[in-house]
């Protein structure tokens, strides 16, 4: 038995970044808000670059609650899609079809989303990480936390439920 040589790191990185890029760039609202994603292995951090158009209260000034909520919901949707696609992305034989599968992928639909505003959003960049706490055949539960200058001082947290797209359920079935 000869164990196949691991793929060169650059090949793996390129494939992962390409997949993430296709997923993120396909959604206009993510571009509208100026949200991007930083990837370390399979861990994603969402970043919302500060812009004046995100302000809700110019007097303080503070970020708009709706912009914060949208940022967290985007983090949740991308994390959920990303974690569902991870296995396919990691299978080199599918690499050629990888991005084409991705462009047809059904995104999870939000059932409900609840945001707790812990502190007012400062006029600076914001960061968020989402965690899929339950991933079922019908729906998934996702928890999101967001911070600005200090990782230990969250300024918002959210939880939501999402319908699992049929395509992902099918993909899951075929892998296992």
Partner 1 sequence: MEAIPHAKELGIWFESIGQGVVEMHMNYDERFIGDPRTGVIHGGAVFALLDTCCGAAVISHPEQKGLTATIDLRVDYMRPAKPGQTIRAKATCYNVTRSVAFVRAVALDDDDDRPVATASGAFVAGT
What's the Cα-to-Cα distance from 21 to each of 18, 66, 135, 157, 171, rounded to whole Å? 5, 25, 23, 25, 20
Alpha carbon dihedral 100, 129, 109, 106, in 10-degree steps, equals 10
- C-alpha to C-alpha distance for 66 and 29, rounded to whole angstroms: 13
> Which among 5-13, 73-81, 92-100, 168-176 is the span making contact with partner 1, rule CB under 8 A?
73-81
* Binding status of residue 109 toward partner 1 by CB under 8 A: yes
Smallest gap from residue 40 Cβ to partner 1 (A): 25
Binding mask 118-157 for partner 1 (x = CB under 8 A): --x-------------------------------------
Q: Within its chain, how far is the Cα of 116 from the centroid? A: 19
Residues that bind partner 1 (CB under 8 A): 26-29, 31-33, 52-59, 62-67, 69-71, 73-74, 77, 104, 106-107, 109-117, 120
């Amino acid at each position: 038995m000869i164990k196949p040589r691991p793929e060169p790191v650059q090949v793996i990185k390129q494939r992962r970044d390409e997949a993430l890029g296709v997923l993120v760039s396909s959604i206009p609202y993510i571009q509208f808000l100026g949200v991007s994603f930083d990837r370390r292995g399979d861990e994603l951090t969402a970043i919302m670059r500060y812009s004046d158009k995100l302000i809700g209260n110019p007097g303080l000034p503070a970020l708009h609650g709706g912009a914060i909520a949208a940022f967290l919901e985007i983090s949740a949707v991308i994390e959920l899609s990303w974690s569902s696609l991870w296995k396919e992305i990691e299978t080199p034989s599918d690499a050629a079809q990888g991005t084409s599968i991705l462009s047809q992928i059904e995104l999870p639909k939000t059932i409900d989303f609840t945001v707790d505003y812990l502190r007012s959003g400062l006029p600076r960049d914001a960061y968020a990480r989402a965690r899929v706490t339950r991933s079922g055949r019908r729906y998934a539960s996702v928890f999101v936390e967001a911070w600005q200058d200090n990782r230990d001082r969250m300024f918002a947290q959210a939880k939501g439920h999402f319908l699992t797209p049929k395509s992902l359920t099918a993909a899951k079935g075929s892998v296992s």
